[in-house]
Structure 1
Amino acid sequence: MEEDHSNLPEDIDALRAIIAAQADQLAEQARKLQSRDTLIDKLKAQLAVLKRARFGSSSEKMDRAIEQLELALEDIEAAEAEAMAPALSSTASPAKAKPSRQPLPDHLPRHDVTHQATCACPVCGGSDFIRAGESVSEVLDYVPASFRVVRHVQPRFTCKGCDTQIKADMPSLPIERGKPGPGLVAHVLIAKYCDHLPLYRQSEIYAREGVDLSRSTMADWIGKASTLLEPLLAKLRDHVA
């Protein structure tokens, strides 16, 4: 965006004063960025030490310390990005060089959105075109996880010879006579024990998607799933013993 220079004073001394003030502001911004970068590096070093110390340990105090450092890093880096945004939108080069972007993972599915150009040539007005190639820009997007209802259909058949009715057996479910499928039970377990997301917060998240899953219901699932996992736990204990 071009700046309006029509209001600048014609007096040389006044112009020098403006330039000096802007130079001071830039120097102060650079100092703050340097200080912030130093703090980020320090927090990252502390975080790495804590993560190494936590390996093989289940200290709740250490987990909380790591979580606090992670949150502090998030806030500082977000504030830095916000402060850099005006500079990046101008024609001036950013004060801090950013590392080159890594290519997006090859294993992720690709969804093409084609943007067709105008049907008329902006120079001569012609409408007869031949394709000369394409430009492709990839951005990483996220599709929120969603619920689905799996319908287990058991067709019934009647024997023409004796009128006996038959149908296939239902597959076993993790919660007998319950509604959750194995994927949902696994998701609740991982969210609680790996992502440290309490059941009441999971219930609030699912409610935003129009699915009513109470904390007590999911607690019942976890208890029953724990029983199902006991044979696997026994095998793991035998393996590490």
Structure 2
Amino acid sequence: MSPQMIDRLWQAFLDTLVMVGVSAGIAVLAGIPLALFLVTSEPGGIFPAPKANRVVGTIVNGFRAVPFIVLLVALIPFTRLVTGTTIGVWAAIVPLSVSATPFFARIAEVSLREVDAGLIEAAQSIGCRRRHILLHVLLPEALPGILGGFTITVVSMIGASAMAGAVGAGGLGDVAIRYGYQRFDTTVMAAVIAVLIALVCLVQFTGDFAVRRLRAR
């Protein structure tokens, strides 16, 4: 590849890191409270609110059911309202975050449900307040599973960011389409695929290592 193409590939890699990194941060900040609400507001939970639980659960399932490419197009007016544009890295962050948040929330919800109910009952029996149960029982016990789910979410977001790049969001997907597919340059395509594979492997290895460390403690 030419030096110019290597520079484009490097910039596209950085753009992908920004898209995935910011979107993943938003997914965590919104997804964990959402998962806690879904677990604690169900009948028999520590903050029972069955009607609100059903409404929020339906909304989460609705967003999860929409394919990312469809969501990307459907959110164009909202994306323009938030970022002032519908192309570029920051425009891609909006649909990526909206797509990843309910996905991660459901994964975190599964981890929270796996916490032994006896631990919650023991905390209640010694007079722990409900918010203390959330912070000191539910979240710490479910943290390895939540971290594992976050790793899966980030990996899926890397693929989604490449898809967003194909419609003008920038990043590795944009380079693969514009300079690889449309110009029939298999070298560029192979380079993008190699970078994506390396990035996914790095994320998965880091996530698995962190989960093992947490479980060892």
TM-score (norm 2): 0.30
More helix by share: 2
| Larger RCO (alpha carbons 8 Å, 6+ apart) | 2
TM-score (norm 1): 0.27
Bigger Rg, structure 1 or 2 = 1
